Structure 1
Amino acid sequence: MVLRVGIDGTALSWLDDVESARRTAGLRRELRARHDRDAVIDLASNDYLGLVRHPEVIDGAVDAVRRWGGGATGSRLVTGTTSDHELLERELADFVGAESGLVFASGYAANLGAVTALSGRDALIVSDAGCHASLVDACRLSRSRVVVAPHADAEFLRRALAERTEERALVLTDSVFSADGDLAPLAEMHRVCRDHGAVLLVDEAHGIGVRGRGGRGLVHEMGLAGEPDIVVTATLSKSLASQGGAVLAAEKVRAHLIDAARTFIFDTGLAPGAVGAARAALAVLLREPHRASAVLDRARDLACITGADHPESAVVSVVLGDPEVAFAAAAACRERGLHVGCFRPPSVPEGTSRLRLTARATIDADDMACIESVLTEVLSDLRVGAPA
């Protein structure tokens, strides 16, 4: 086959067709820069505890940068591990009740590293249909046979594990699913895994800081903290107001990941400033555990305004169906000083495009009054404009 490439770059002309199709379907994405003086109320970020601009978090980041510099200077196995990294790992593990922890450069990298290192050709992976994209991509890289389970279906999981021929099995789930905000049936899933000798990996990205005593996560809330056949992954970029990810598990898992997780071995270590910010945010949460329950209180307020289902997490979804309708509603909110998330395929299934609202512990009464006014107006306009 001869590849003909013209001077005008025709080898990439297919991108024009792809962009046109996306635009027609209402799925074109654009970057919009925030500015430090934007006067908007934020219901789109994952800063659930309201700590991103907390003075102690900022000071923690600045102090670490002054001591260690702007970057980690290398991979964790070469020069990228500082004493602060090791302190953060111990503090995170103690917080969630795990034996040990290992910090990665991102939550995405933590999931990729953990899944690929714990699976392989002689393993079965059973992954919940609602799992985050990082877990989906990890499955693709795992070289394992992958079975996608219907969402939160423990009985399907039982059958899949009972019928397996592979020596090992790894089960993947979010604790709190990012689009709908619903909870995984972790206690039942763990019983099934233990009955069939499988490891349960739980992504607590949206659970830590919100669920469990003082925000220790859904695994802790379900009484499963420290179980040797549970691996918890987490991100530092949501409730902990920083950047990075972590795997929290038995010490033997940590040791294996140091030897086998490619996103740990070959990636530059987490920047010192991010480590310092995360440690400071965790210290604030330990001192002020009420922030976790405040998130759920604000989520219930948002659900009352929008008519959404009773929330189990910080996430409140307002399903509008059509992607262009959801995009227009988000734009209308933004014009009125309210920033909301807009989730469209492939982030959510076809026909379920939505506004995704994220509660924050620091939303006050004045903010809530403005939020109610804007959302009521925007959603009312949608209903008026809907076809009979």
Structure 2
Amino acid sequence: MLFSYLADELEDLETAGLRRHRRMLESPQGARIVVDGREYLSFCSNDYLGLANHPALIAAAQSAAARYGVGAGASHLVSGHSVLHHELETALAAFTGLPSALLFSTGYMANLGIVTALAGRDDEIFADKLNHASLNDAVLLSRAKFTRYPHLDFAALEKRLAASRAKRKLVLTDALFSMDGDIAPVPELLALCERHDALLVLDDAHGFGVLGAFGRGILEHFGIASERIVYMATLGKAAGVFGAFVAGPVELTDYLVQRARSYIYTTATPPLLSAALSASLQLIEKEAWRRDRLRELITALRQGLKLRRWRLMDSTTPIQPVIIGANQETLAVSEALCERGIWVPAIRPPTVPKGEARLRISLSAAHGIEDVAHLAAVLNELESAA
């Protein structure tokens, strides 16, 4: 058979506990969801603020669909750039406190567009080893020299920055690391970039909407601003909809319109999504109780878990990883949770380092304290029985 070698590789993945399977969601996102005909208490969504099924977002999308239709029909530079896209970009710039913002279809495409437009063969890019795959793939496509530094090891980063003779230097980092739940100390990174004349690209996919008093993300969290920062955030997680944006100086976004291939050569997102996102921004800013509830849930989970063999990672964010270690044991625990009506995903290599397979618990403002208490009790019981 032509593809028999693929079947062999799939079998190897299955044996190693690394084969992934899709499951069928039959309900909106929420604290409780229906998957393959069964209801689960869900701790596996990035819908951190519980906005993915909010009536105000649904109404905005429906109204926009009635007026502007469903599809954009073309790329932004042909005829697909709607007034709703423009209004959202203006709102995102104001929301983040940055001069300009540019919409992208996804965070993956935004990172590809940023890095390949700003760096090339004569340049060097420095990246945290735990960065998201989209940043790593972007560096490879840019053809710049790719230098990775150990996770949050700024002494190593400074040594490599000082030794570089590249024409341009870029430092890339997740702002909130999606698998560990820890936050990059951006002020220290910015100081390094200023000292060594490098741009700092921040991927705030998991911080936008969650961090900061008004949910404006990592920059508000630390109270910093700099023209040296290229800010990217996604709109399908805490914002509850879909898409991504890049924000920074006007010259940056204007340049990306001219040079970011993942922006130029793709159809614009449906305008109705921009309408829903404009409604989402208002809720993110005004409803601080959603972030307050997240903090309460985080505290409740960390106090409720009494693990002895498994390890709860040090995180103050809605991402609460429990390290189990072995792939098969992690899958077994995830399946045992499913049998009890709780959905927590098993995360395995290559997404995380070998030997650090984990349960990735994602909390949402849609959860109640009783939901978190139930999860903690079941996990404590499963570990005791293991």
User: What is the TM-score normalised by the length of structure 2?
Assistant: 0.93
**SS state of the match for residue 248, structure 1?**
strand
1:350 to 337, 341, 354: 354
- What stretches of structure 1 of length at least 5 have no aligned partner? 1-7, 383-388
Amino acid at match of 1:33: M
Does structure 2 retain, via aligned residues, the 8 Å contact 1:321–1:353? yes
- Give the match for residue 16 of structure 1: 7
| Separation in structure 2 between the aligned mates of residue 82 and residue 60 of structure 1, nearest angstrom | 15
Matched, 1:365 2:330: no
Shift of 1:343: 0.5
Matched, 1:27 2:36: no
Shift of 1:214: 1.7
Does structure 1 retain, via aligned residues, the 8 Å contact 2:337–2:343? yes
| Separation in structure 2 between the aligned mates of residue 32 and residue 73 of structure 1, nearest angstrom | 31
| Separation in structure 2 between the aligned mates of residue 336 and residue 212 of structure 1, nearest angstrom | 35
Does structure 1 retain, via aligned residues, the 8 Å contact 2:127–2:171? yes
Does structure 1 retain, via aligned residues, the 8 Å contact 2:181–2:319? yes
Matched, 1:195 2:190: no
| Separation in structure 2 between the aligned mates of residue 342 and residue 93 of structure 1, nearest angstrom | 36
- Give the match for residue 254 of structure 2: 255
- Give the match for residue 73 of structure 1: 73
Within 5 Å, give how 1:54-203 maps onto structure 2: 54-203=54-203
Does structure 2 retain, via aligned residues, the 8 Å contact 1:107–1:234? yes
**SS state of the match for residue 173, structure 2?**
strand
| Separation in structure 2 between the aligned mates of residue 348 and residue 17 of structure 1, nearest angstrom | 24
Amino acid at match of 2:215: G
- Give the match for residue 301 of structure 1: 300
Shift of 1:32: 0.5
Per-residue CA deviation, residues 111-137 of structure 1 (Å, 9 max, x unaligned), is: 111111111112110011010011011
Within 5 Å, give how 1:305-316 maps onto structure 2: 305-306=304-305, 307=307, 308-316=312-320
- Give the match for residue 385 of structure 1: none
Per-residue CA deviation, residues 240-279 of structure 1 (Å, 9 max, x unaligned), is: 0011111011111000100000000001111223222222
| Separation in structure 2 between the aligned mates of residue 44 and residue 379 of structure 1, nearest angstrom | 20
| Separation in structure 1 between the aligned mates of residue 151 and residue 369 of structure 2, nearest angstrom | 36
- Give the match for residue 342 of structure 2: 338
Per-residue CA deviation, residues 74-115 of structure 1 (Å, 9 max, x unaligned), is: 111112211111111111121122111000011111111111
Per-residue CA deviation, residues 281-311 of structure 1 (Å, 9 max, x unaligned), is: 1111112123123223212222223352442
Does structure 2 retain, via aligned residues, the 8 Å contact 1:212–1:221? yes
Does structure 2 retain, via aligned residues, the 8 Å contact 1:104–1:246? yes
| Separation in structure 2 between the aligned mates of residue 209 and residue 377 of structure 1, nearest angstrom | 34
User: Number of residue pairs matched?
Assistant: 372
Does structure 1 retain, via aligned residues, the 8 Å contact 2:297–2:369? no
Shift of 1:368: 2.8
| Separation in structure 1 between the aligned mates of residue 369 and residue 149 of structure 2, nearest angstrom | 42
- What stretches of structure 2 of length at least 5 have no aligned partner? 28-32
Per-residue CA deviation, residues 326-358 of structure 1 (Å, 9 max, x unaligned), is: 111111111211111211001100000000001
Shift of 1:361: 1.3
**SS state of the match for residue 213, structure 1?**
coil
| Separation in structure 2 between the aligned mates of residue 365 and residue 179 of structure 1, nearest angstrom | 23
Distance 1:381 1:69, change over 3 A: farther
**SS state of the match for residue 267, structure 2?**
coil
Amino acid at match of 1:13: S
2:332 to 314, 328, 331: 328
| Separation in structure 2 between the aligned mates of residue 369 and residue 315 of structure 1, nearest angstrom | 16
Does structure 2 retain, via aligned residues, the 8 Å contact 1:116–1:261? yes
Amino acid at match of 1:40: Y
Per-residue CA deviation, residues 27-81 of structure 1 (Å, 9 max, x unaligned), is: 0111101112622211100000011111101112212222221111111111221
**SS state of the match for residue 53, structure 1?**
coil
Shift of 1:172: 0.1
Per-residue CA deviation, residues 120-161 of structure 1 (Å, 9 max, x unaligned), is: 112110011010011011011011001011111111121111
- Give the match for residue 30 of structure 2: none
**SS state of the match for residue 78, structure 1?**
helix
Percent identity of paired positions between Structure 1 and Structure 2 = 39
**SS state of the match for residue 181, structure 2?**
coil
| RMSD of aligned residue pairs (Cα, Å) | 1.4
Amino acid at match of 2:133: A
| Separation in structure 1 between the aligned mates of residue 141 and residue 156 of structure 2, nearest angstrom | 23
Within 5 Å, give how 1:182-261 maps onto structure 2: 182-225=182-225, 227-261=226-260
| Separation in structure 1 between the aligned mates of residue 354 and residue 197 of structure 2, nearest angstrom | 35
